[in-house]
Chain A
Amino acid sequence: MNSVNNPSFSNNRLINWFKLSSPSTFYPVAGKLIPIFWLLTAVFGVAGLWVSFFVAPVDAVQGQGYRIIFIHVPASWMSMFIYLVMAAWAGLGLIFNTRLSAMMAQALAPIGAWMAFLSLWTGAFWGKPMWGTWWVWDARLTSELILLFLYLGFIALQASIDNVRRADKAGAILALVGVVNIPIIYFSVKWWNTLHQGASVSLTKSPAMAQTMLWGMLLMALCFWMYSIAVGLMRVRAIILEREAHTDWVRQLDEVKN
C-alpha cells in the first residue's frame, strides 16, 4: 500500500505501529532512543547508589552487609521480567511471523542471562555472611539457576540452528515453555519452607522495610530496567544489520555508505 495514493490510511495510528514492526523503520528509531535510555540509566543509577550507600540506614540485624540488597533484588526482578518480555516477543514472532519480534527476543536473551547470573552471584555473596554458606539447594535458588539455564539454552539452541527462521521458531517454543518457571521462582518462598527469606516487597502487602531502603531499591530497579532497554536496543540494531545484510535499505544507510 503506497502512502501517497492513500494518505488517510497511512495516517491511521494503528498502521503506524505496524510500520514500526519493520526492521528498516525500527532501526533508526532505536538509534535515536538509545541515548535517552542511557541518560535515564545514569540518572537513576547515581540517585540509586547515593541512596543505597549514604541515605539508607544500617540494618539492625545484618549491619552494612545488607546493602547487597540494592543490586540483588533489582537483578532478580529484571531476570524474571526480561524473561517474560523475551517470551512475549518470541510468542508474537511465532504467531504473526514477524522478523523484528524474533530479533527482539534474541537481543534480550543475553542481558537476561547476565541478570540471572548477577542475581545468583550477589545472592551467594550475601548468603555466605548471613547464612554461612555460598549455596544451598533451596527452592528459590534452584529455580533461579534453572532460569539462567533456560536463557543459556535459548541462546545455544538459536545458535545451533543454521536456518534463521527455524532457529527463531525453535527458540520461541523453548522460551514459551520456560515461562512456567517464572511463577515458580516468584512463589517459591511461599510454596516451600525455604532458607531464602520471603519477599521484602510484594504486590499485596505494604513493604516490610524502611522507607529509604525501599526507595534505594526502586531507584536501582529503574536503573537496571533502563539499562536493559538501552542494551537491548543496541544489540537489536546489530542483529538487524546482520540479518538484513542482503537488503537494499541496509546498503543505503549512512554508516555503511561512508
Chain B
Amino acid sequence: MWNSPAEFFAMGGYALYVWSSFGVCALVLLLEPFVIRARFKTIVLRLKQECLAEQFDRESSK
C-alpha cells in the first residue's frame, strides 16, 4: 500500500491531521503513567520520612 516511507508520512495529503491526532494521543497516553509514577513516589517518600521520624522519636525518648 505504501511505496516509500515518504509516502507513508505524507498520508495522502492528510499528514497534518493524521499525525496531529496520533501524536497528541501518544503524548497524552505516554505522559499519564509518568505523572502517576511521580505521585506514587511522592507518597511513598512521605510515608518513609514519617516512619523515620517516629523511629527517631522512639529512640530519643528512651
Contact = CB atoms under 8 A, between A and B. Distances in A.
Interface of A: 53-54, 57-58, 63-65, 67-68, 71-72, 75, 110-111, 114, 117-118, 121-122, 125-126, 128-129, 227, 230-231, 234-235, 237-238, 241-242, 245, 250-251, 255-257
Given A64-B13, A231-B32, A238-B40, A250 B21 contact: no
Interface string B18-55: 10111011001100110011011001101110110000
A34 B51 CA distance: 27
Given A121-B21, A251-B47, A58 B39 contact: no
A63 B13 contact: yes
Chain B residues touching A, majority SS = helix
Contacts of B21: 68, 71-72, 121-122, 125-126
Contacts of B11: 64-65, 67
Nearest to A237: B40
Given A114-B28, A257-B51, A241 B43 contact: yes
A33 B38 CA distance: 20
Contact of A231 (B1, B20, B22, B33): B33
B43 A125 contact: no
Nearest to B28: A114
Contacts of A251: 47, 51
A106 B33 CA distance: 16
Contact-size category for B: 20 to 34
A118 B22 CA distance: 10
Given A122-B25, A255-B44, A65 B36 contact: no
B48 to A, nearest CB: 6
A114 B43 contact: no
* Most A C-beta atoms less than 10 A away, residue of B8, B25, B47: B25
Contacts, number: 91
B8 A245 contact: no
Contact of B20 (A64, A125, A245): A125
Contacts of A121: 21, 24-25
A111 B12 contact: no
B17 interface: yes
A230 B14 CA distance: 32
Contacts of A227: 29
Contacts of A117: 28
B12 to A, nearest CB: 3
B50 A234 contact: no
5 contacts: A64-B11, A68-B22, A114-B32, A117-B28, A238-B43
A129 to B, nearest CB: 5
Contact of B14 (A64, A75, A241): A64
B33 to A, nearest CB: 6
B25 A256 contact: no
Nearest to A252: B51
A241 B17 contact: no
